[in-house]
Amino acid sequence: MAKDYVSSVLKSLLLLLQLVLLIHDADSASIVKFLPGFDGPLPFELETAYIGVGEEEEVQLFYYFIESERNPEEDPLLLWLSGGPGCSSISGLLFENGPLTMKLDAYNGSLPSLVSTTYSWTKVSNIIFLDQPVGTGFSYSRTSLHNKPSDSGEAKRIHEFLQNWLGKHQDFTSNPFYAAGDSYSGMIIPALVQEISKGNYQCCNPPINLQGYMLGNPITEHSGVNYRIPYAHGMALISDELYEKAAAHSSGMFLVVWPLHLPDIGQGVVDFSSGCLGHCIWPVGQLGTRLMNQNHISCL
């Protein structure tokens, strides 16, 4: 599983290197009609560009924008944030809810093939896939950032991005707006929604037609995931034997490094093949293990 994800990420990076060659001017939007690895013109409209934020637009946030394939004038406008923090939003575009994905079978080391999906959210909504925070994907800063990064600061920055983006895409100001994402974006999106709601009443024009937000597999607090192992055990997703051995080694704190040695792995204390709730117990060196979501391996 980990090997497959790492391989997919490397292919994504290769695709991105090809894609960036199609961007002629970082200060203006480009309509991408062809992508390397996809047979023929794209069956949807893809826009890529930077939006500057900050007093001197020193932060340049990169995005992929795909118009709804149904009715872009009336369909919802959705912002998608990937987690990490630090995962490019192309991971969502290619591996979660976008109109393209990679054809992984028969991959021989050449440029990966792209194929259309049948489940894309762009069939019924306009989606902005945003690379955030600064340093993620193609997003960058023209100057050194002196302030320590924070979730609240990132929410303010994304709010400014949306204001500036809508200023350049005024046809979408009246569309119902939703913020969505997964994983670590669970820390960002609620704060972003609060910023949008506050801005609509206090300062900002055009107002954002906020209708709601969606979170998938979200992190909502840094220490709040320790319950997953007891929950999985209570739902009979892991055996009594595995749970009891894990509890004995961890003293109930399942997300800290356990005093576990390689012989324990062979004795079944650590089950690397377990797929309970999409999670596995993953090795960290020879002295310990920790819980990790398989979907996050590519972000590390």
- The chain-wide mean pLDDT, for the chain, equals 77
Confirm whether 198 is domain-assigned.
yes
Confirm whether 22 is domain-assigned.
yes
pLDDT band, residue 277 (cuts 50/70/90): very low
Return the CATH number at 34. Answer: 3.40.50.1820
Range of the domain at 101: 2-216
pLDDT band, residue 286 (cuts 50/70/90): very low
Residue 2's pLDDT is 43
Domain count, the chain: 2
Does residue 131 sit in the same domain as residue 234?
no
What is 36-51 written as a DSSP string? TTSSSS-SS-EEEEEE
pLDDT band, residue 189 (cuts 50/70/90): very high
Highest average pLDDT, of 4-8, 24-28, 132-136, 176-180, comes from 176-180
Confirm whether 103 is domain-assigned.
yes
pLDDT band, residue 172 (cuts 50/70/90): very high
Range with the poorest average pLDDT among 18-32, 71-85, 243-257: 18-32
Does residue 148 sit in the same domain as residue 98?
yes
Confirm whether 223 is domain-assigned.
no
Range with the poorest average pLDDT among 3-12, 37-46, 176-185, 196-205: 3-12
Single out the residue of 174, 69, 175 nearest to residue 122, CA to CA: 69
Does residue 173 sit in the same domain as residue 278?
no
Strands 77-81 and 126-130: parallel
User: Has this prediction a pTM greater than 0.85?
Assistant: no
pLDDT band, residue 295 (cuts 50/70/90): very low
Does residue 161 sit in the same domain as residue 112?
yes
H/E segment holding residue 177: strand 177-182
Which of 161, 185, 216 lies at the terminal end of a domain, its last residue?
216
Confirm whether 176 is domain-assigned.
yes
Asked if 37 and 44 touch (Cβ cutoff 8 Å), the reply is no
Strands 177-182 and 210-216: parallel
Residue 15's pLDDT is 57
H/E segment holding residue 85: none
Confirm whether 28 is domain-assigned.
yes
User: Rounded to whole angstroms, how far apart are CA atoms 181 and 179?
Assistant: 7
Confirm whether 222 is domain-assigned.
no
Confirm whether 107 is domain-assigned.
yes
User: Rounded to whole angstroms, how far apart are CA atoms 143 and 197?
Assistant: 30
Does residue 188 sit in the same domain as residue 271?
no
The single-letter DSSP state of residue 63 is E
Q: pLDDT above 90 covers what percent of the chain?
A: 45
Does residue 48 sit in the same domain as residue 139?
yes
**Residue found under tokens 């340093």:** 135
pLDDT band, residue 288 (cuts 50/70/90): very low
User: Rounded to whole angstroms, how far apart are CA atoms 18 and 111?
Assistant: 10
Residue 16's pLDDT is 55
Q: Cβ of 50: how many Cβ atoms within 10 Å? A: 21
Asked if residue 270 has pLDDT above 50, the reply is no
Asked if residue 13 has pLDDT above 80, the reply is no
Asked if 149 and 133 touch (Cβ cutoff 8 Å), the reply is yes
Q: Which residue has the higher pLDDT, 129 or 232?
A: 129
Does residue 148 sit in the same domain as residue 271?
no
Which of 184, 216, 248 lies at the terminal end of a domain, its last residue?
216
Residue 219's pLDDT is 81
Strand partners of residue 78: 127, 178
* Residue 151 amino acid letter: D
Single out the residue of 156, 52, 134, 13 nearest to residue 85, CA to CA: 134
Q: Which residue has the higher pLDDT, 93 or 205?
A: 93
Does residue 250 sit in the same domain as residue 200?
no
Residue 29's pLDDT is 79
Does residue 156 sit in the same domain as residue 198?
yes
Does residue 178 sit in the same domain as residue 275?
no
Residue 24's pLDDT is 45
Single out the residue of 275, 55, 263, 47 nearest to residue 171, CA to CA: 47
Does residue 14 sit in the same domain as residue 89?
yes
Does residue 211 sit in the same domain as residue 232?
no
